[in-house]
Amino acid sequence: MANVVGAAVCRTAADEGKPADWVPGGERQKVVDPMKMFHELPREMQFITGSEAARESMRRANIDIAIAYPITPQSESMQQAGYLYDEGYIKEYYRAEEEIGTFSAISGASRAGVRSLTATSGPGLMRGMEAISSWPGARTPIIMLNMCRVINTPLAIQPDNIEMSFMLNTGILMLHAENQQDFYDFPLAAICASEQVDVTLPAVVSVDGFFCTHARGPVMITPEEYKLPPRDGWRSAVPAMDNENPPARISRDAPIQKSNFISYHMHSSWQQEVFAAVQRSAKYFHAYLGGLVEVVNPGAEDFIVASGCAVSQAREAVRQEGEAGRKVGLVKIKTIRPFPTEDIYEALKGAKRILVPEFNQAGWLHKELCSVLYGRTKGVIKDGPRVYGGMTMPTEMILETLAEFRKEVK
Amino acid sequence: MSLETLRPSPAMQDFLPTEYKDLVEHGPYNNRNGKEHQTVKVTDMGKFKEVIEEHPMCAGCAMTLFIRLTYIGMPNPEHTIIVGTAGCGRLAISQASVPFIYGNYGDTNAVASGLKRGLEVRYPNQKKDVIVMAGDGGLIDIGFQGLMHSWFRHEKFTTIMLDNEVYGNTGGQESGMTNQGKVLKMAPRGKFGEKVDALGLAKVAGVDYIARLAPTNPSRVARTVRRAIMVAREVGSSYIQAYTSCNIEYSIPTPDVMKDAFEIEKERYGFEEIISPRAKEYLDEIEKKPKKKKSDK
Amino acid sequence: MIKQDNLILTRSDPSGQGGTQLIYRLKSYGLAAVSRPQEEISMIHWEVDIVKFSNENKASFEICHTTELANKTLKFYSDKSLNEFLEKAFPYLEELDSLEKMLPQEP
C-alpha cells in the first residue's frame, strides 16, 4: 500500500541541502511520556531570556509545522523557531504574509493532523482575530505563543496584556506565564492538553512581552534529548481533513448560516460542546502543572490575585510584607481558560481583602474574578494597581495600594 | 483514503444506502480499469454516480455545471481536499463526497498552504491533492493577499476561480472581476475600475499552470482540471479561471445560460493555457503514457 | 551558570521593569546584580552594586559606592565576567565586614 501514515520525518538530507550524513535534530531525540517530562526528568538550571525559554520548549515539543509573521516582541522567538527548523527539530516552517494568512494557514496545518505552532503579539493577534476565533469551533489543536503588547492608540511596543481580554470568550485554552520558567513549561503542557480527544482545542500561552521575552531569568529545563510524543492525528474529537476518514460534518455539510431552527440548534450545541471541552481540559492542566493556581500563604486575610508578570511583582510584595510581619496571601492563576473558579474560591474563602493588580487598562482579570465570586465571598475585591501602555508596576506600588486597602476595609 | 476502505463489506452491502453503493460500484471511486487515476468520462455523465449530485444552486446555474465537471476531472477524488470560502460555489461543493473546508472570509489560499504542507509532513508517500475552489470576490478581493502570496511561495495546490463577475451570494454587488461600467449593487454609476487581470497576476507571480475557460466544452474542463492538479502535485502552483455566469444577477434567461457562455467565450473568455517550461515538460511526460499502453495492446 | 554561593534571594526586579535581581550576602555586605530587559537581546547585561544590609534578617539594604571594589554601578556583559567579579568580591566583602567590626563602634 502506498499510504504510509504518520511517518516521523519526510525530509531527507538532500531535500534540505544538507550533507548526506545529516540527521534532523528531532530524529536524535527520544520520545518521553509527558508526565515523565513534566515531573520526573532531571532538570538543569539555565539563565535565559523568555524567547530562549520558548525555543527550548519548542525544541522538545515535537512540532511538525511552525508558521508566523514577525512582530515585536514575538520576532525573537519565531526566528529561533526558524533555527530549530534548520536544525531539523521542526519539520516545516515559513514566514507567512501577515497574521490573517498566518492564523488561517496554521488552522489548515492543524486540520491536516499535524502539530502546529504559531506566535504573535498584540496588534498581530488583533489582525488575525477572525481566524483565531474560528479555531475552537473548527476543533483544531494549535499552540500559539502570545507575547503581550500594547494594541491601542497611541501604539507602542511595550508590554500590556489587554489583547488577552479579546480571547476570553472564544473557546481557546488560555495560559498566562509569569516568567521565563512558565514560558518553558506552559507551552508543553498546553500542547498535551489541547490534543486530548476530549479537549481537541487550540491553546494560547501568553506572556508579558519584553519583561519576560527580552529579559533573562532562571529556568529549570529538561535534557534536550527528550521530546514529547508526536501528535496523533487520529485521536481527535473531530477528524483531520486528510480524506482518510469520513469528513467532519461541520465542514462537509452546507454551512450552518441559514436562518432556520436547525441551524440555530446546531450552532448552539456545537458551541456548548466547545466550552464544555474547555472545562474538561482542567484535569490535564492539574496533572501537568500541579494545579490551575498556585497559592502562597493560604488562610491569610489579605490576598493578592494575579496572573502573568503581576504575579512576580506581587510575590515580592508578599515577601516584603512577610518581612514586616504581615501575612499576605497570593493566588497565581496559571490558566485563564479554563478559569479555575473553584480553586480560587477555596483559596479566598476566608479572605477579607482581595487585591487584583493588572497590566492592562480594562482590568479584565478583576472583572472575571468579581463575576465568579459574586455572592460567594464576603471579601472585598479591589482592582489595582493597574498599569498599562508599558508602565511598570514597582513592588512599592502594590504595597501602597495594599496599605490604602487596609484603611478602606477594616 | 484507500479505496479498500471505501469498499463496503459484502455482508453489509444490502443495508447500505443506494447512493453509497452507486458511488462505490458505479462511481469514480471504483472506475479505475487498473489505473491510478479515475477513468470516468465526461461523455458518460448521467451513466455513473458522481461525487456531487444534489445541491441547492439556482436552476440553470453555469457554476454548478462547472463544479460537477471539476469533480469528474479530479484524478484522485479519494485523496483530494477542497478548500472554499463564502460564496455561491460552496453551496454545491459542500454537498460532494470529498472533504470540504469552509473557512473564514478570504482565507482559502492561506488555509490551503498550511493544509498542503501539513499533509506532506504526515503523508510523505501519498500525494494528497488540495484544491481551492472559491468565487471571484473571495479570491481577487478579500482573499487577494493570501492568493498572491500562495503563488509567490509556489505552494503546491490548485486554485480555481469560479468567476461569475459578481457577488452572487450576498445579492449582486460588483466585484473586482466585474467588467468596467457594469451597473450592479454598490456600483450605481457603473463599475469604476477594469476587470482585474488575474491571469496576468498569476503569470507575474510565476504560477506554473494557468488556464482560462468557459464551461462550453465539458471534456476540456475535465482535462484542464486534471492538468492543473497534476502540475500542482509535482511542479508548483496552478490556477484555473472559469467563467461561471450568474444568470440571476445578470438576468440571463435560464434556457440561454449556455448560449451566453458561448458568446462570452467568443467575445472575451476564450480558452487559454499558459504553461511554464517545467510544467510543460512534466505534462508531456505524463500525457505520453497512454500512447505507450496502446502499443502494448 | 551564574554563581549560586552566598545567593540569598532571586526575585523579579522590584522596580517593575522586568528582569531578575540576584542578591548575594556576605555578613553585612553583599551584592545586588540585576539583568533587565533590552529591546536588543544582545544588549542584555548585568548591573551590579555593592550593598550594605541594614538588618540581620531582611533583604533590605542600601547601595554602597564607597568600597575599594566599586565606586559606581558596574556593568558586565557576560556571565563569565560577572562570575569572575563575584569570585573576587566574595572574600573581599567578607573581610570588609570583619575589618569594620574591629573599628571602634560609634556611640
Contact B107 A131 (CB under 8 A): yes
Predicted pLDDT at A248: 65
Contact A216 C20 (CB under 8 A): yes
Q: What is the SS3 assignment for A289? A: helix
B247 close to B60: Cβ distance less than 8 angstroms: yes
Answer yes or no: is A309 within a domain.
yes
Contact B118 A109 (CB under 8 A): yes
| For chain C, percent of residues with pLDDT exceeding 70 | 97
Pairing of strands B238-243, B158-163: parallel
More confident: B170 or A294: A294
- Which set of grid coordinates corresponds to residue A67? 508558521
Of A4, A101, A106, the CB nearest to B145: A101
Predicted pLDDT at A256: 56
Report the predicted TM-score, pTM, of the whole model to 2 decimal places. Answer: 0.94
More confident: B48 or A289: A289
Q: What residues pair up with A355 in beta bridges, in sequence order?
A: A304, A382
Predicted pLDDT at B21: 77
- Rg of chain B's alpha carbons, rounded to an integer? 19
Q: Which of A401, A75, A188, A105 is nearest to C39 (CA)?
A: A75
Q: How far is C90 from chain A (nearest CA, A)?
A: 21
pLDDT-based confidence at residue C57 (cuts at 50, 70, 90): confident
Which helix (H) or strand (E) segment holds residue A142: the answer is: none
CATH assignment at residue B185: 3.40.50.970
B226 close to B74: Cβ distance less than 8 angstroms: yes
Query: Would the pLDDT of A257 be above 50?
Result: yes
Question: Are both A59 and A190 inside the same structural domain?
Answer: yes
Contact A394 C19 (CB under 8 A): no
Contacts of A53 in chain C (CB under 8 A): none
Of C11, C35, C37, the CB nearest to A210: C37
Q: Which of A136, A250, A137, A138 is nearest to A203 (CA)?
A: A136
Contacts of A5 in chain B (CB under 8 A): 122-123
Q: Which chains touch B (3 or more CB pairs under 8 A)?
A: A
Query: Would the pLDDT of A203 be above 90?
Result: yes
Rounded Cα distance, B108 and B95, in Å: 18
B149 close to A104: Cβ distance less than 8 angstroms: no
* Residues comprising chain A, all counted: 410
Answer yes or no: is A285 within a domain.
no
Q: How far is A14 from chain B (nearest CA, A)?
A: 15
Question: Are both A188 and A109 inside the same structural domain?
Answer: yes
A177 close to A148: Cβ distance less than 8 angstroms: no
> Hey, which residues 118-157 in chain B have their CB within 8 Å of chain A?
118-126, 128, 145-146, 149, 153
Closest alpha carbon within chain B to A102: B110
Predicted pLDDT at A8: 43
DSSP string for A197-266: TTT---EEEEEETTTTTTSEEEEEE--TTEEPPPP-TTSSSS--SSSSSPPPHHHHSPPS-SSSHHHHHH
**C–A contact: 3+ Cβ pairs < 8 A:** yes
Answer yes or no: is A209 within a domain.
yes
ipTM (interface pTM)? 0.94
Test mutation, A117, A244, A256, chain B, max B CBs within 10 A? A244
Pairing of strands A353-358, A302-306: parallel
Work out the average pLDDT over A81-86. 96
Contact B101 A64 (CB under 8 A): no
Dihedral-angle region of residue B159 (phi above 0 means left; psi in -120 to 50 means alpha; beta otherwise)? beta
Contacts of A233 in chain B (CB under 8 A): 122
Predicted pLDDT at B205: 98
Output phi, psi for B28, to 5 deg: -65, -15
Rounded Cα distance, A208 and A124, in Å: 15
CA distance between the termini of chain C: 44
Answer yes or no: is A4 within a domain.
no
Q: What is the SS3 assignment for C12? A: strand
Contacts of C61 (CB under 8 A, 6+ apart): C23, C30, C32, C51, C52, C53, C54
Rounded Cα distance, A207 and B9, in Å: 53
Test mutation, B55, B64, B98, B119, chain A, max A CBs within 10 A? B119
Q: Which chains touch C (3 or more CB pairs under 8 A)?
A: A
Domain count of chain B?
A: 1
Work out the average pLDDT over C50-58. 87
Q: How far is A306 from chain C (nearest CA, A)?
A: 15
CATH assignment at residue A364: 3.40.50.920
- Which set of grid coordinates corresponds to residue B52? 456531487
Rounded Cα distance, A32 and A230, in Å: 10
What range does the domain containing B73 cover?
45-296
Classify residue A170 by its DSSP letter. T
Answer yes or no: is A12 within a domain.
no
Contacts of A67 in chain B (CB under 8 A): 114
Predicted pLDDT at B199: 98
Contact B114 A107 (CB under 8 A): yes
Mean pLDDT (chain A, rounded): 92
Q: Which of A327, A76, A107 is nearest to A214 (CA)?
A: A76
Rounded Cα distance, A68 and A106, in Å: 9
B122 close to A113: Cβ distance less than 8 angstroms: yes
Rounded Cα distance, B275 and B131, in Å: 18
Predicted pLDDT at A245: 77
Contact A245 B118 (CB under 8 A): no
Predicted pLDDT at A7: 40
Query: Would the pLDDT of A6 be above 50?
Result: no
Q: Which chains touch A (3 or more CB pairs under 8 A)?
A: B, C
What digits encode the pLDDT tens for the residues A214-239? 999 999 999 999 999 999 998 999 88
Question: Are both A92 and A185 inside the same structural domain?
Answer: yes
Ordered per-residue pLDDT tens for chain B, 297 residues: 666 666 667 888 788 888 777 777 777 766 676 778 888 889 988 888 888 878 888 999 999 999 999 999 999 988 999 999 988 898 899 888 889 999 899 999 999 999 999 999 999 999 999 999 999 999 999 999 999 999 999 999 999 999 999 999 889 999 999 999 999 999 999 999 999 999 999 999 999 999 999 999 999 999 999 999 999 999 999 999 999 999 999 999 999 999 999 999 999 999 999 999 999 999 999 998 655 544 444
Q: How far is B221 from chain A (nearest CA, A)?
A: 24
Closest alpha carbon within chain C to A49: C41
Contact B125 A3 (CB under 8 A): yes
pLDDT-based confidence at residue A282 (cuts at 50, 70, 90): very high
Of C10, C16, C18, the CB nearest to A210: C18
CA distances from B222 to B4, B33, B229 (A): 25, 18, 11
Amino acid (one-letter) located at A149: R
Which helix (H) or strand (E) segment holds residue A27: the answer is: none
Last residue within a domain, chosen from A174, A196, A227: A227
Which helix (H) or strand (E) segment holds residue A4: the answer is: none
Q: How far is A298 from chain C (nearest CA, A)?
A: 21
- Rg of chain C's alpha carbons, rounded to an integer? 14
Contacts of C10 in chain A (CB under 8 A): 218
Predicted pLDDT at C16: 87
DSSP string for chain B: --HHHHSPPTTTGGGS-HHHHHHHHHSTTS--TT-SS----GGGTTSS--S-----PPTT-HHHHHHHHHHHH-S-GGGEEEEE-SSSHHHHHTTSSS-EEE-STT-HHHHHHHHHHHHHHH-TTS--EEEEEEEHIIIIITTHHHHHHHHHTT-SSEEEEEE-SSBTTTTSB--TTSPTT--BBTBTT---SPPP-HHHHHHHTT-SEEEEE-TTSHHHHHHHHHHHHHHHHHTS-EEEEEE---TTTTT--GGGHHHHHHHHHHHT---EEEE-HHHHHHHHHHHHHHHHHHHH-
B117 close to A109: Cβ distance less than 8 angstroms: yes
Predicted pLDDT at B15: 86
Q: Of the given ranges (A24-33, B37-46, C65-74, C81-90), which has the lowest mean pLDDT?
A: B37-46
CA distances from C107 to B116, C29, C104 (A): 82, 21, 9
The reply to whether A79 touches chain C by the CB within 8 Å rule is: no
- Taking the domains of chain C in order of start, what are their residue ranges? 7-102
Domain count of chain A?
A: 2
Of B1, B116, B120, the CB nearest to A10: B120
Q: How far is C104 from chain A (nearest CA, A)?
A: 30
Answer yes or no: is B248 within a domain.
yes
Answer yes or no: is B12 within a domain.
no
The reply to whether A393 touches chain C by the CB within 8 Å rule is: yes
Classify residue A298 by its DSSP letter. T
The reply to whether B6 touches chain A by the CB within 8 Å rule is: no
Contact A215 C35 (CB under 8 A): yes
Q: What residues pair up with C26 in beta bridges, in sequence order?
A: C29
What digits encode the pLDDT tens for the residues A32-76? 999 999 999 999 999 999 999 999 999 999 999 999 999 999 999
CATH assignment at residue A196: 3.40.50.970
Dihedral-angle region of residue B98 (phi above 0 means left; psi in -120 to 50 means alpha; beta otherwise)? beta
DSSP string for C55-75: SSSS--EEE---SSS-SS-EE
Q: Which of A295, A107, C52 is nearest to B107 (CA)?
A: A107
What range does the domain containing A375 cover?
293-408
pLDDT-based confidence at residue A251 (cuts at 50, 70, 90): low
